[in-house]
Amino acid sequence: MKFPAVNPNLMKAAILLGATFLLGTGAAGLAQEIGDTHEYRADGETTIETVNGLRVITLRDNVLVRQNDIELTGDQAVLEYSLDNQLQTVRLTGSPASFQQQADGETAPLSGSSDTINYYAGNESMVEFIGKANFNQPGTTLQCAQIRHVIESGATSGQACSGSLTN
């Protein structure tokens, strides 16, 4: 039996190109995981389905959702991801549901709680606290019916509020 001749230089080039592609793909995936980490867990039932072009994950009982430096806890959470696994929104309910963020350079974390928390991920991330809302950031405490906090700019607004400012 005679084997066809193989150009050794062509074979080396193909192996090198394949290895470079695989390593490059792995490194890009690792960089994406490190740059935007999100995880979730629940003690109860978890369901995953696709609804209106979104991947919807529903978590029940003692829920934890974490994205980078933001942590959300509550009784139930509904997470919506784009089909390319980018987190879009989290709707959390609880008695109460809680939010915490350890901001860069701050000694105390930003924290809040309410009956319902809506977290909107993206370039202009925002968190809404609805129903018996409390929000604390260094120097400011708010109790309102509803509070909205823009994470990147630090802008906060509320309705039917009382609060305090400290040094």
- Which run of H or E residues covers position 29? helix 8-35
Q: Residue 2: pLDDT above 60?
A: no
| Residue 109 DSSP symbol | P
Neighbours of 165 (CB within 10 A): 8
Q: Give the confidence band of 36 by pLDDT, cuts at 50, 70, 90.
A: low
Q: Give the confidence band of 106 by pLDDT, cuts at 50, 70, 90.
A: low
Q: Residue 16: pLDDT above 90?
A: no
Q: What per-residue confidence (pLDDT) applies to 21?
A: 36
- Which two tokens mark 79? 């997470």
Q: Give the confidence band of 102 by pLDDT, cuts at 50, 70, 90.
A: confident
Is-contact 110 104, C-beta < 8 A? Answer: no
CA 87 distance to own-chain centroid: 6
Q: What per-residue confidence (pLDDT) applies to 167?
A: 77
Q: What ranges do the domains of the chain cover?
A: 1-35, 39-165
Supply angle C-alpha 81, 78, 159, rounded to 5. Answer: 105
Q: Is pLDDT larger for residue 137 or for residue 62?
A: 62
Q: Residue 117: pLDDT above 50?
A: yes
At 73-87, the pLDDT tens digits run 999 999 999 988 899
Q: What per-residue confidence (pLDDT) applies to 60?
A: 98
E strand segments, 37-154: 38-41, 46-51, 54-67, 70-82, 87-101, 110-120, 126-137, 140-150
Segment 41-51 shows an average pLDDT of 96
Domain topology for 39-165: lipopolysaccharide transport protein A fold (2.60.450)
Nearest to 59 by CA among 72, 46, 40: 46
